[in-house]
A = this chain, B = another copy of it.
Amino acid sequence: MKKNPQTAACLLIGDELLSGRTRDANANTLAKALYAKGIELIEVRIVPDEHKTIGNALIDLKVKADIVITSGGIGPTHDDITADAVSAALGRKTVEHDGAMKILKAHYAAKDEEVTDARRRMARMPKDAELIANSVSGAPGFRVENVYVLAGVPAIFDAMLEEVLAAVPDGEPETVYHVTGEAKESDLADGLRDLETALKGLKIGSYPGPTGKGGPLTIVCRSRSASVCEQAALAVKALFTAQGKEAEIGQGDRPA
């Protein structure tokens, strides 16, 4: 993988996400963590537990982004096929990883349980994979090339993600300000467009509330230049003022 990844993509694997049984939590966790590190998340995909579909999506994403982080499909049951799909997509054999087997043996020995054949499956990984520690339930994830394979269970995903991100150098975080007030976004639209055009390296997002029926409007300004971002936030506040509306400026993408 690149030593200093600038971009990332996320591949969520699981029939339960597409049937609606489970509402994914991991993409948002990942998005926030990457954003804080200054690494740009450029795409998220959800695919079912199907060998070829997983592989095709993985190949697409690993070309588009510097790193790919996957979630799901690395447990002990028959529907856990991520390791095999990743191996096939990368043209590698799937092998039993010695280090992973050691971890599984120690984990289950401590609970006075056996490493059954099903549990042993959790040590199967693409050849030459590096382990990602699982502080919650033993069975590790793995990295191969620029692909990080994490568990889907949110508590385990979170723990593995912490391991992964600790080893990845920070990118260049953006400066972010929000401006919140009671104006209508259509009344600010022309001014926002002009502002984004006028200030180089500035991105502006306009976010009305979730109801679609009014409530506070939040304008988010983002830039790699702190001074551009500050200038933009003040200009956005002036747009509210021009509508006779009060507005509050704050750091980050929303009021605390």
Contacts and interface: CB of A to CB of B under 8 A. Distances in A.
Interface of A: 15-25, 27-35, 40-49, 53, 75-79, 116-119, 121, 136-137, 151, 153-156, 185-190, 192-193, 196, 203-213, 220, 222, 253-254
A253 B150 CA distance: 24
Tallying the copies of this chain within the complex gives 2
Interface centre among A151, A189, A192, A204 (most CB of B within 10 A): A189
A35 B19 contact: yes
A105 to B, nearest CB: 14
Contacts of A31: 17-20
Contacts of A254: 21
A151 B212 contact: yes
A157 to B, nearest CB: 9
Nearest to A30: B20
Contacts of A116: 186-187, 189
B18 A44 contact: yes
Contacts of A76: 185-186, 189
A52 B15 CA distance: 29
6 contacts: A18-B43, A20-B33, A21-B207, A27-B46, A77-B193, A118-B185
A115 B116 CA distance: 68
A75 to B, nearest CB: 6
